[in-house]
C-alpha cells in the first residue's frame, strides 16, 4: 500500500534520492523566499513554484539531475510534474526539505 501511495504522489525513494544527491544533483526548493529564509537544505536553490515556468531554461542549462522539495510535498509534486512535462528528464521529488536533511 505504501509503495502505491508513493507512486501515486510521485515520491522517489530515499535510496534513489541519496544516490542522485551524491552524483551532483541540484536541489530546488519551491517554497516562498520567506519560507526558504527560515531554513532550507544546504546548497539548495530557491525557485518558488510560481516562478518555475519562467525558470525552465535556467534549470535545463544546469545539465544536472534535479531534486525538488518544499514544506510538505504538495508543491514539490506539482513542480516535478511541471518540470517533467517541460523537458527536464531527470527530476525527483523529495517532498519536504526536512527529508533531505535527515538523509
Domains of the chain: 2-101 (3.40.250.10)
Q: How many helices (H) and strands (E) does the chain have?
A: 6, 4
Partners of residue 95 on adjacent β-strands: 69
pLDDT at 1: 39
pLDDT at 10: 47
Listed residue (102, 97, 34, 37) closest to 67, CA to CA: 97
Among 10-19, 23-32, 80-89, the range scoring the smallest mean pLDDT is 10-19
Give the catalytic positions in this structure: 70
Mean pLDDT of the chain: 89
Amino acid at each position: 500500500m505504501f509503495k502505491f501511495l508513493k507512486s501515486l504522489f510521485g515520491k522517489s525513494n530515499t535510496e534513489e534520492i541519496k544516490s542522485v544527491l551524491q552524483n551532483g544533483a541540484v536541489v530546488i526548493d519551491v517554497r516562498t523566499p520567506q519560507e526558504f529564509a527560515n531554513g532550507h537544505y544546504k546548497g539548495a536553490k530557491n525557485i518558488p513554484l510560481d516562478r518555475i515556468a519562467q525558470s525552465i531554461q535556467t534549470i535545463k542549462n544546469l545539465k544536472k539531475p534535479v531534486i525538488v522539495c518544499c514544506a510538505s510535498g504538495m508543491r514539490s509534486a506539482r513542480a516535478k510534474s511541471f518540470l517533467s512535462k517541460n523537458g527536464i528528464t531527470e527530476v525527483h521529488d523529495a517532498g519536504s526539505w526536512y527529508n533531505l536533511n535527515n538523509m
